[in-house]
Structures are given as C-alpha cells and as structure tokens.
Structure 1
Amino acid sequence: MSTLKDKGKEYLTVKDMQKVLDSCKLQLNQIDEVWPNIFIGNVAVAQNKTSLLKLGITHVLNAAHSKRGSIGNQSFYGNDFVYFGIPADDSTHFDLDVYFQPAADFINKALKSPGGKVLVHCIMGMSRSSTLVLAYLMIYHELPLKKALQKLIQKRAIYPNRNFLALLLDLDLQMTRTKKTCHIL
C-alpha cells in the first residue's frame, strides 16, 4: 500500500482508503446491520416507521437532517424512536468532523439503552452515515481507520467522499498520537 512517509513514520492516504473501499463487492441495499445493533440505511427505509419497528430500531441518527428529500425530526418519529439530526452536506468542503464526537456519543448511548438498536442514515446510506459510523468505531472501539473500513465493507457497500476520508484520516492520526502519549505517561 502506498503511504506517505514523515520522519520515518508511514501515514495512510485518502487514495489508500479508496482502494480498501474499491475492494467491496457488495450490492447497495436499503439497510444493513454493519455492527451489532448498528444499521446503516437510506432515507426511504428511515422514513418507513413500520419497517424500523419490525427491525427493533430504537434510535435514528439522520446525517442528512433538513436536506431536501430527508424528512425527519423528533415529531416525525414520535415516541417510538429517539431522534438525532445532523445537517451534513455530502460535499468536498463540509466539516463533518465537528459532529464525530456527538454522533459517536449518540450511537454509544443508544446501544447502552435497553434493547437499543440504532439506524444511521443519510440519503443513500453511503457517505455521510458511513463516515459517522466509522468515527464511532474509531472513538469507542479504538479501531484504526483501515480496520474499521475493512469491517464495514464486509457488511455494506459504503463510499465516504474524499473530504470525509481525509477527516477520518485526521481522526486516525489524532487517536494514534493520543495512544502513544498515554503509553509514555
């Protein structure tokens, strides 16, 4: 794998991550369980409350909150689900990283609640939603980005945009530095 080198250390690149993603041979489904009790899906399944109830979903994280075609708020979901909306753009300039910790905290809290199952969705369930699930796996399960990507592509066809991959690589680097600092102390 081609990597950038800096002072003897190797760093993964966005291109490296795209190669991992390109190795996925799965078809894109409306919804997939990508980690125990964590589902990634598209907006159509997110708006089908009957299907969500059948799956046992208790929490909904909408990574395309207030975007055209993505209806969703607490009043839409009523008392059946706990809702959290993030108004993210799937673009090359949106700073999704400011939502990594709040989204990870929401997913973690959902999974700790009795019978908790969380749906993380955007419009197609490929870029914004998968980026937030990857951030959760990195933050709460201390998975390096490459390993988190490899786990998810075994369960769902995902493809975070280049900007989001770069933000996840920054998170990966921060977490690696933090681990090293903790081991020194």
Structure 2
Amino acid sequence: MAVLKTKKEPRKEYLSVKDLEKILDSCTLRLSQINEVWPNIFIGNVAIAQNRSTLQKLGVTHVLNAAHSKRGSIGDHRFYGNSFVYYGIPAEDSTHFDLDVYFKPAADFIHKALKQPDGKILVHCIMGMSRSSTLVLAYLMLYCHIPLHCALQKVIQKRAIYPNRNFLALLLDLDLQLKRKQKTWKTCLIL
C-alpha cells in the first residue's frame, strides 16, 4: 500500500491585515444597534447610546464613547449625568488616526467598569463597527490575554464588526508586542 505524502503548508508566524479581513469577512451576522460581545460588554451605535432608558433596562452602568465630540454623537458627561460613568475618546475612523494611544486607557476603563458590582459597559462609536470594536478587541488582548485572531473570532460570533485597515494594523502591532512580552517572560522563567 502506497502512502501519499502531502506537502505541509508553512505555518504563518504572523498575521497580516489581509488575514484579519478574511476572518472579518467570514461573519454572517447583520449589523444591529447593540450586541453583548463578551460578558457585560456591549458594542453599539450612537442611536442606542443616546437612548438612556434602553441602556438602563439593559443594566449598562458605564459608557465608552469612541466618537466623543464628533458630529452626530451628542453623548458626554452632561448628557449622561449621574446615571452612567462616562468616558469619551475623540477618535476618527480614518486611515491616519493613531487610536493605539487610547488602547490602554480604554482597556483600563472597561476593566474598571467590569470590576464594579453589576458593572456593564457600552462601547460605541457612530455605527459600532470600527472604532468601538477596535477598543474592545484591545481590551480582550490586554486584560484577557487573548490573541488578536481569537478575539476577532469571538467577537464576530456576536456582532458584525469591521475595523478599518489602519486600526487592524495597530491591533496587529499590539498583538506582536504582547507576544514578544510573553516570550520574554517565558525566557526569564526558564533562566
């Protein structure tokens, strides 16, 4: 009996933006106003963010606005008052905006919200597809130690998202930094 040898595909060490877009393209969900993408983390659009009564019914306690002070996004401290803890990031959904400077502050805010008794957070931008999802993915990578491709796969099971190419590249950089840090820690533990 002859044994057929198959050529093994070389294992890719690093993902590209194109690889991430293929993962995103595999999502079959339709975009909706709000979805719980991780326990007590919601991603939504600006319309749901401006509906305080719906947010209260959902038990949302914190709001992270990734489109703070942008046209159409009226949410701010005055709008929410004492009903919600608010944090605004004036991000642009563009190919040149450095959203990565907000990865850690946004992740810290999400983490603090989830540590509160009954804490639930809405992360939103205008459509709830690019800026907000990028910040949630950064949180999952930084605090839950989930690699980017796994975080993407988890989120698209719950919501149709599509971070722009620039944000995907920034997330890839974060993923690489975290992998390098993990390897350094493993090396230190071995020594």
Q: Same fold (TM over 0.5)?
A: yes
Show CA shifts across 1:17-55 (max 9, x none).
000000000000000000000000000000000000000
Structure 2 match to 1:129: 132
**Match of 1:21, SS?**
helix
Identity %: 77
Segment drifting more, 68-77 vs 171-180: 68-77
Please point out which of 76, 80, 86 is paired with 1:77: 80
Please point out which of 115, 120, 125 is paired with 2:118: 115
**Deviation at residue 74 of structure 1 after TM alignment:** 1.0
Segment drifting more, 175-184 vs 8-17: 8-17
TM-score, normalised relative to structure 2:
0.92
2:91 matches 1:64 = no
Show CA shifts across 1:147-185 (max 9, x none).
000000000000000000000000000000000000111
**Deviation at residue 106 of structure 1 after TM alignment:** 0.2
* Alignment of structure 1 residues 102-181 onto 2, 5 Å: 102-181=105-184
What amino acid is the match of 2:133?
A: S
**Match of 1:171, SS?**
helix
Show CA shifts across 1:81-107 (max 9, x none).
000000000000000000000000000
What amino acid is the match of 1:49?
A: R
Please point out which of 32, 36, 41 is paired with 1:38: 41
What amino acid is the match of 1:175?
A: L
Distance in 2 (alpha carbons) for counterparts of 1:115 and 1:12: 36
2:17 matches 1:14 = yes
State the aligned residue count. Answer: 179
Distance in 1 (alpha carbons) for counterparts of 2:15 and 2:30: 26
2:93 matches 1:87 = no
2:111 matches 1:99 = no
Distance in 2 (alpha carbons) for counterparts of 1:78 and 1:67: 19
C-alpha RMSD over aligned residues: 1.1
Distance in 1 (alpha carbons) for counterparts of 2:82 and 2:91: 24
Distance in 2 (alpha carbons) for counterparts of 1:17 and 1:123: 22
Q: Give unpaired runs (5+ residues) of structure 1.
A: none
Over 4 Å off, 4+ runs = none
**Match of 1:80, SS?**
coil
**Deviation at residue 9 of structure 1 after TM alignment:** 7.0
Distance in 2 (alpha carbons) for counterparts of 1:83 and 1:74: 6
Q: Give unpaired runs (5+ residues) of structure 2.
A: 1-9
